[in-house]
Amino acid sequence: MSQLGEMRKHAGGLYRKALRRGARPVEKLEAEAEHLHDIEQRGESGATPFIAIGGLILFLLPIFLVMLGLAFAAYYLAA
């Protein structure tokens, strides 16, 4: 039973390392988003309006794409 426990521990460590390696780019993006949000909130940068507009676009773009997809689907189903 101890050998099975060691194998589980080793496999768990390998999976943990693989998942952490895959999560690093996401963590970097999250850190950059937080940094830009802090800059926007302080309003000290000349890029603040562009950061705000970019955030608004990134928020509205998926909504627009879903609505566009639904409209095309309705068009093709109706024809």
Domain residue extents for the chain: 1-45, 46-79
Task: Answer yes or no: are the C-beta atoms of 52 and 39 closer than 8 Å.
Answer: no
Task: Answer yes or no: are the C-beta atoms of 63 and 55 closer than 8 Å.
Answer: no
Task: Answer yes or no: are the C-beta atoms of 56 and 37 closer than 8 Å.
Answer: no
Largest CA distance in the chain: 66
Which pLDDT value is given to residue 1?
52
Residues near 36 by Cβ (< 8 Å), separated by ≥ 6?
Answer: 51, 55
Find the mean pLDDT for residues 42-69: 89
pLDDT at 24 over 70: yes
Which pLDDT value is given to residue 78?
92
Q: Is the pTM of this model over 0.85?
A: no
